[in-house]
Each structure stands twice: as C-alpha cells, then as structure tokens.
Amino acid sequence: MKYLDEFNDPKLARRLLDEIRATVTRPWALMEVCGGQTHSIIRHGIDQLLPDEVELIHGPGCPVCVTPLECIDKALEIAARPDVIFCSFGDMLRVPGTDRDLFRVKGEGGDVRVVYSPLDALRLARRHPDKQVVFFAIGFETTAPANAMAVHQAKRLGLTNFTLLVSHVRVPPAIEAIMTAPACRVQGFLAAGHVCSVMGMAEYPELAERHRVPLVVTGFEPLDILEGIRRTVGQLERGEHRVENAYARAVRADGNPAAIRMIEEVFEVTDRNWRGIGRIPGSGWRLSEAYRAFDAEHRFDVTGIRTEEPAECRAGEVLQGLIKPTDCAAFGTTCTPRTPLGATMVSSEGACAAYYLYRRMSEPALPREEMNPVG
C-alpha cells in the first residue's frame, strides 16, 4: 500500500491540475486506450476535475469488450461439448453472445472453469488426458506472453488435448484505425503502460509522426494519469507530436525482449475483427503454422455461426469514442450488469461498467469544487 499511496497524493494531484489549467489555452480531445485507465479516471472523477478545455475520450481499451461476437459464439459452442473442459478468465463468463453466455453454458452442464493463468489450464490438460482442454486466449499484448508460453510448454510436453481459442488484439493498428476514421476527434493519446511494458515503444513514433499526435505512455494511478494528461496537453500547446514515456518505472523503450521473442515464436500477425468496430488490418495475432495444432478453431469444426448484436446496444460507438455510455438510451435501464446488452457493461475494464459502478448515471455530475482529486 505504501507504494500505491505515493501515486494517490491529493496535494500532488492538485498541483498537476493547476499546471494543466495554467498550460491549456484552447480545447483538446485526448483518448486513453486502456480500460484500466478508464476505470481510474471515472472512479476518481479525473475527467470532471480537468479544465473544460480538456476532454477525455474513452477508446477501445478493453480486450474483453472488443472480442468479436463470432468468437464468443464459437466459445459457447465448444464449451457446450461433453468432451471439453473450457477454461477462461472470470470476466468472460458474463459477456453476452448472440443468445447466451458462458455462465448459462455452465448452468446447462458444460464444464466451464475459471482459471487465473493459461498455465492452470495446461495443468488441467495433464490431469485429464481423456478431455479436450480449451483456454480462451484473449487480450492485448499484455496477456500474449503467458498464452504463448502455455502453448510452447504444451508442445514441449507432447500434449494433444490442449488448445487455445485465440482472439488476441494489438493496440498500434487500433490507434491507426481510430486516426483514419472520418469522425475522429482525437488529438492526443494516453498509451497503455502495461502494453508498452511488454512491447516497448518502437511502433509508436511512426504513428505520432504520421498523424501528428502526441502519444504519452501512461500508468494507471491518479497521479500517473494526470501526469500523462499534463505532458500531452503541453505537447499540443507547443505544437509537438512526440512519443513520451511517463511510466518509466515500468516501461523501457525496448519493452521485455524475452516476452517479445516468445510471442514472435508462437504467434503471427493477422487481421482481426473488433466487436463494435469491424475489421482492422494487422490488428491481431493467431497461432503460427508451427503451433497450428494447438488452435481450437482448427481442432473443432465450429461452422454455421450466425451472430446478431442487440439493435438497442450502442457499445460499438462507446468503443470508438463517438459517445459516452450515458448517451445510450439503454444504459442503466434495459442494460445493467445483471442484464447486459454488450460486453462494455460486464467486463471489469468496460467503460459502461465503470460508469455504472461509480454511479456516473448522467453528465455532468458533481461540481468541481466539491470533488476530491483522489478521494
């Protein structure tokens, strides 16, 4: 707790806010591309403490939320099979497919298990050689090394009953897609520190230069976020568009070379559909040819999947930063954590879940003078 408290200091928060107010002279729109940052922003009311000129736009920073509906429906189909133990992180169990979720499959007799690591699923495969063990491998670059290691170990051990259902997505192509969208208003990015701790920052300078946007690698505590905003606004006011590392305690320019080597051995880049957004070229990973035998989509013949999103759900627009959750008529009424229409309401990193959890049911909320910067 000592080290967390250092990044929740109200005096330092007010000082950073004062610096931002003293710097900004015109409206700027910044996007955070990390669900953890979104939750921290809403929990602490950071967006409401900022000067009116600084707008924070929530981007597609939740990997659970952008997992395509077709992939979720494939997971549901595989998990329902009697010879399968289907393993997933807990935040996927309530994500709605076309007509059910993994909790319902479990309630109907499917062997669906929550695990805390893909290596837990690997151990289940060793203990249950008579079952096909499938791990739902989703996430940004952050979770890719552990998933790659699980497959690497499965191949080394000669396991034939372990596979991954892969829906990995990559952040830099998503930033490219956001910046080239016709309705884009984003003028600067707070980049996800945990992604950069794995992959480093090598892909970002080209994006910053091509689109002339500052890109500041940012952490997740209140002071981290305020410092990221301060640096981004400073660059915008000076007419700069550089990559800065405001999370140096966790991020190196070259990331984690060992993790990158493992990813490059096991995965290859592919195009990927993002739920609510569409297909983004080069934005995902799939298992490489050398590890294709561990791909659940190849192992199981799951075809004829027909998907249908609820017409009243506007989660796709939330993920693109076009609207806030409170702009959706279903938010907090027909769409709640108990009755979710989209993944953004049930994922632990979803923007709609953050607004609902912290009772941000409408805009604006409390006047700035009544709010505690980190309380």
pLDDT band at 239 (very low <50, low <70, confident <90, very high): very high
Question: What per-residue confidence (pLDDT) applies to 275?
Answer: 87
The residues, ordered by sequence, that sit 6+ positions from 18 with a Cβ below 8 Å of its Cβ are: none
* Mean pLDDT rounded to a whole number for the chain: 92
Report pLDDT digits (tens) over 104-144. 999 999 999 999 999 999 999 999 999 999 999 999 999 99
The residues, ordered by sequence, that sit 6+ positions from 100 with a Cβ below 8 Å of its Cβ are: 76
- Which segment of 29-33, 234-238, 274-278, 362-366 scores lowest on mean pLDDT? 362-366
Residue 287 has pLDDT above 90, yes or no: yes
The residues, ordered by sequence, that sit 6+ positions from 31 with a Cβ below 8 Å of its Cβ are: 56, 57, 58, 59, 178, 186, 188, 189, 190, 321
Tally Cβ neighbours within 10 Å of residue 108.
Answer: 11
Question: What per-residue confidence (pLDDT) applies to 263?
Answer: 97
Report pLDDT digits (tens) over 155-195. 999 999 999 999 999 999 999 999 999 999 999 999 999 99
Residue 344 and residue 213: Cα distance in Å, rounded? 27
Residue 4 has pLDDT above 90, yes or no: no
Long-range CB contacts (within 8 A, 24+) of 281-287:
281/173, 282/170, 282/173, 283/169, 283/170, 283/173, 283/174, 283/177, 284/167, 284/168, 284/169, 284/170, 285/144, 285/166, 285/168, 285/170, 286/166, 286/168, 287/151, 287/164, 287/166
The residues, ordered by sequence, that sit 6+ positions from 138 with a Cβ below 8 Å of its Cβ are: 63, 64, 67, 89, 92, 166, 167, 168
Question: What per-residue confidence (pLDDT) applies to 6?
Answer: 67
Question: What per-residue confidence (pLDDT) applies to 302?
Answer: 78
β-bridge mates for residue 279, sequence order: 273
Question: What per-residue confidence (pLDDT) applies to 305?
Answer: 73
Report pLDDT digits (tens) over 37-75. 999 999 999 999 999 999 999 999 999 999 999 999 999
Residue 145 and residue 253: Cα distance in Å, rounded? 18
Handedness of CA 160, 162, 167, 171 (dihedral sign): negative
Mean pLDDT of 197-223: 97
